[in-house]
Amino acid sequence: MSQPYFKNRDCRCQRCRARGLTGAAILITLGILFLIQTWGGPDFGMTWPVLLIVIGIFSYVSHVASIEGHIQPYAILGNTPPSAVPPPPQSNPEVKQ
């Protein structure tokens, strides 16, 4: 049985990267739509469905993209990140056992 997918911002699999770009794509689309309106093009009230199309495309891509190489977040797994794992204890030759 495979583990469920949990978003990890430190992961570089295709699905996590697509989810990370969704917010940027929405902001860029909004900016372009308002810029078109400013330049005398159609009013934002006529072009806002483009925003829904962009959100739908990124939602679809983020659900079907490959999770090959995905790294689960450490908090979900109940582990600590490798950088937080303490080094193994050093044996002290002066201490007799």
The CB-side HSE value for 24 (13 A sphere, CA atoms) comes to 5
Measured distance CA(78)–CA(68) in Å, rounded: 21
pTM: 0.63
Residue 45 structure tokens: 């009230």
What's the whole-number mean pLDDT along residues 88-96?
A: 63
Dmax (CA) for the chain in angstroms is: 85
Q: What confidence tens digit (pLDDT) does each residue in 9-57 have?
A: 778 788 888 888 889 999 999 999 999 999 999 999 999 999 999 999 9
Sign of the dihedral through C-alpha 36, 38, 44, 46: negative
Domain extents in the chain: 1-67
